Chain A
Amino acid sequence: MSSLRGRVAVVGVAESDLGEVAPGLTEQDLIGQAATRALADAGIAREEVDGLFCSSSTQPAPTLNAAEYLGIRPRYSDGSNIGGSSAVSHLLYAAGAIESGLIDVALIVYGSIQRSAARKLITPAAISAWEEPFRPRWPLTMYALAASRHMHQFGTTREQLAAVAVAARAWAQLNPVAFERGPLSVADVLAARPVCDPLGVRDCCLVTDGGGALVLTSAERAREAPKPAAHLLGCGVAHWHRDISQMPDLTVTAATESGARAFAMAGLTPADVDVVELYDAFTINPILFLEDLGFCAKGEGGEFVSAGRIAPGGELPVNTNGGGLSYCHPGMYGIFTVIEAVRQLRGEAGDRQQDDVEVALAHANGAVLSSQATALLGTEATLS
């Protein structure tokens, strides 16, 4: 199989302002902030961007908006939307475009002002006619149903779900730009306002503003970049359903496929991964993804996340930025898993920096456990 392993690298990453941004800032402004900062981080001029990738919850053709705002005239334009995993899937498509010579520099962007605009999750995803009569609340109800099934089938407990939120908060306390940094215990999570059994409000992601940007180029060119390259070692995308009622088994996600594809391309196994960044829209998500990506056996995710194993100082650092649960969640969180993975590889993560990070995994989920995208990134040393 021809492989993209080590052929392209992420050379620039940045967030826009996060949290609740200044009045009047738009989705496009946040994309503009993040893109400007990421290009500066990469040492690449805006005029060199010839591939533009953008997902959006509000724009049907988001690369048109972004290119116009940024003053970029791309030869390759991808506004594909598979939900919150889109930006990670864009890594694969950008890598293919760079490797095939269609483009030299890819810019992947995302932005949202969902907190300022509405104070609730903006989801263009209309509930299908087959589910709408029962008034599920997208996407909350669907994740609660998955959690109920995991608890029934494997004995996963609310305390184990809570451990995911507690670990995320402990990481967020090490991240100065995280939105929620106050103390949080398992008891706090269990006592929080119930919203959709078995999930309480602390089992659910934040609603914040925010944007992000990634700059990719060939591995050769990446070696001339001002900062150490984060080489794309493997990347995989998979999706099986759109509606939760069409998901064959609520305890097994398409991360089993996206992860297997990424690890096969990289020639790595979960044991080789030093830090893990997962899209944690709800506390059940990291449990499912740690199982489906092969960090533990199916059904053992609840126990795996307990006793501080994924928290600071634990055996496996997971969501070192504080995740969508405590750091930021502007609707489609996927791009932030890559930003944090790159920072950990570069040694730029400040108080939350892990030692000797050579391989980082970024995994994002879209819609209602529907689409999954997995990326493995590594330092220059992983290529030798």
Chain B
Amino acid sequence: MTESPPGPWSGYQEGLARGELRFQRCGECGRAVFYPRLLCPFCGSADPAWETAAGGGTVYATTTMRPRDEAPYHVCLVDLDEGFRMMSRVDGVAPDAVRIGDRLRLLIVEEDGRPVPTFVPAERS
């Protein structure tokens, strides 16, 4: 039996635990790959390699959740400067004050005993 290295999920979590937001870049086509996986979904190449995001991003889509039984909270999609997109939220500002196009900075926070990649407005850095 051949031993495979730990799966991409493990590498991603290990990065977060060290304060890094990891993604992959395809060695063949050069495109950023997120979520991490064992092949490039764009060209099929089998060697996407780990990189770490610098932490700058831009709001691509935004919403304020308004549940009946708790305070409103934010959910958004963020385009990272390296060329990939992820779901996250923006803290440090009212949820409905976040605008598409706003510049953001990564802030990994501890939540329910695990690291979570959130964002804050870039000008507050």
On whether the beta carbons of A195 and B75 are closer than 8 Å, the reply is no
Report whether over half of chain A's contact residues are helix, strand or loop; otherwise say mixed.
mixed
On whether the beta carbons of A245 and B77 are closer than 8 Å, the reply is yes
CB distance from B89 to the nearest CB of A (A): 5
On whether the beta carbons of B63 and A133 are closer than 8 Å, the reply is no
Is B96 among interface residues, defined by CB-CB distance under 8 A?
yes
Residues of B within 8 Å of A129, CB to CB, are: 9
Closest partner residue, chain A, to B84 (CB atom): A245
On whether the beta carbons of A245 and B85 are closer than 8 Å, the reply is yes
CB distance from A195 to the nearest CB of B (A): 6
On whether the beta carbons of A134 and B61 are closer than 8 Å, the reply is no
Is A226 among interface residues, defined by CB-CB distance under 8 A?
no
CB distance from A169 to the nearest CB of B (A): 23
On whether the beta carbons of A197 and B66 are closer than 8 Å, the reply is yes
On whether the beta carbons of B61 and A141 are closer than 8 Å, the reply is no
Given contacts A130-B35, A145-B75, A148-B100, contact A195 B66 (CB under 8 A): yes
On whether the beta carbons of B87 and A131 are closer than 8 Å, the reply is yes
Q: Can you name 7 A-B residue pairings with CB atoms under 8 Å?
A: A130-B35, A134-B89, A137-B65, A137-B67, A152-B101, A197-B63, A197-B64
Is A149 among interface residues, defined by CB-CB distance under 8 A?
yes
Number of interface residues of A (CB under 8 A): 24
5 closest A-B pairs by CB? A144-B63, A145-B61, A152-B100, A197-B64, A149-B61
Is B120 among interface residues, defined by CB-CB distance under 8 A?
no
Q: Which residues of A contact B (CB under 8 A)?
A: 129-131, 133-137, 141, 144-146, 148-149, 152, 194-198, 243-245, 250
Given contacts A148-B63, A149-B61, A245-B87, contact A135 B75 (CB under 8 A): yes
- Max chain B Cβ within 10 angstroms of own Cβ: one of A136, A145, A146: A145
CB-contacts of B42-71 with A (<8 A):
60-67
Q: Which residues of B contact A (CB under 8 A)?
A: 9, 35, 60-67, 73, 75-77, 85-89, 96, 100-101, 111, 114, 116
Residues of B within 8 Å of A244, CB to CB, are: 77, 87
Closest partner residue, chain B, to A194 (CB atom): B66
On whether the beta carbons of B116 and A133 are closer than 8 Å, the reply is yes
Residues of B within 8 Å of A133, CB to CB, are: 111, 114, 116
- Max chain A Cβ within 10 angstroms of own Cβ: one of B66, B77, B86: B77
Residues of B within 8 Å of A148, CB to CB, are: 61-63, 100
> In whole angstroms, what is the CA distance A382 to B65 when docked?
47
Which residue in B60, B64, B88 is a CB contact (below 8 Å) of A134? B88
Given contacts A136-B75, A137-B65, A195-B66, contact A130 B100 (CB under 8 A): no
CB distance from B17 to the nearest CB of A (A): 14
